[in-house]
Amino acid sequence: MNTHIIKKTQKKLILVFTLSLFIFSSTVFAQTAAKLTSTEEFGGKWGTKVKEAIEAMKLEGNIEDGAIIYEEICQACHQPGGNGDPGGNFPQLAGQHSTVIIKQIADIRIGNRDNPTMYPFANIEALRAATEDIFDEEKSGPQTLSDVSAFIQTLPMSSAIVGEGVDLEHGAEIYKENCVRCHGDHGQGDVKNYYPVIAGQNYHYLLRQFRWIKDGKRRNANPEMVKQISGFSERDMLAVMDWVSRQTMIAGDWDSKK
């Protein structure tokens, strides 16, 4: 065999191979940077494939029933107004998007998010059993979840526990550069893509979750957020969380249209 031809073929093959590898990897990275994951595209680390969660998100939530369920199951720790405890141990749920509540409960149940304290309250069978005691008509687990999260979304977020208030200008600036794309211009989140409301959330809770997202301890964090905040300094974090804890929701923030 002519060695000269073999060498030429080999070189061509190597060239084609590295070129296609380059094209392939660049398109993959281009995809992940461009589109925000939508509710329809469940999957991967961020989206939820949990059957009951998907079902719950499709069901119409009965707010009246949700109020009764909330009082029975969630109120003990998250308080009657849904504002949580001052120390930020139990987060404010008030005003949170129903889809966010459903997704977090699902993540806790399947072990995507470590929260042993919440286990019995995220257990879909336990939720169904609890409402069996309250209502005469049987209610499925997903319906229970849909009802209670619809109710929670109607409660007013309190903005009661805020930071030191000494670096808010810096906080607003960093927020504008980093967080608006997903959390909105005033921390209102997105009900369709289940980006959480952070406006008015308890400052201590925000700090803890932010640290855990950054350190990888909160394993169900959106990977894009982990990347986005990797460069935040301690000062950045305190300033942004302080600014965020003082924001308030406005009418229209909960609409699905986007």
Minimum CB–partner distance for residue 146 and another protein (Å): 19
Angle formed by the axes of helices 234-245 and 203-215, to 10°?
Answer: 140
User: 67 to 96, contacts with another protein by CB under 8 A?
Assistant: 76-77, 85-90
CA angle 218, 47, 122 (to 5 degrees): 65
Q: Comparing C-alpha atoms, which of 255, 236, 252 is closest to residue 244?
A: 236
User: 99 to 158, contacts with another protein by CB under 8 A?
Assistant: 115-121, 123, 125-126, 129-130, 132-133
Backbone φ/ψ region at 79: left (φ over 0), alpha (ψ -120 to 50), beta: left
User: 197 to 216, contacts with another protein by CB under 8 A?
Assistant: 204
- Is residue 109 within 8 Å of residue 122, measured between CB atoms? yes
Q: How far is CA 180 from CA 107, 195, 199, 204, 245, in A?
A: 24, 11, 12, 21, 15
Minimum CB–partner distance for residue 64 and another protein (Å): 20
26 versus 117: smaller Cβ distance to another protein: 117
Counting residues that bind another protein (by CB under 8 A) gives 23
186 versus 204: smaller Cβ distance to another protein: 204
139 versus 186: smaller Cβ distance to another protein: 139
Q: Which residues bind another protein (CB under 8 A)?
A: 76-77, 85-90, 115-121, 123, 125-126, 129-130, 132-133, 204
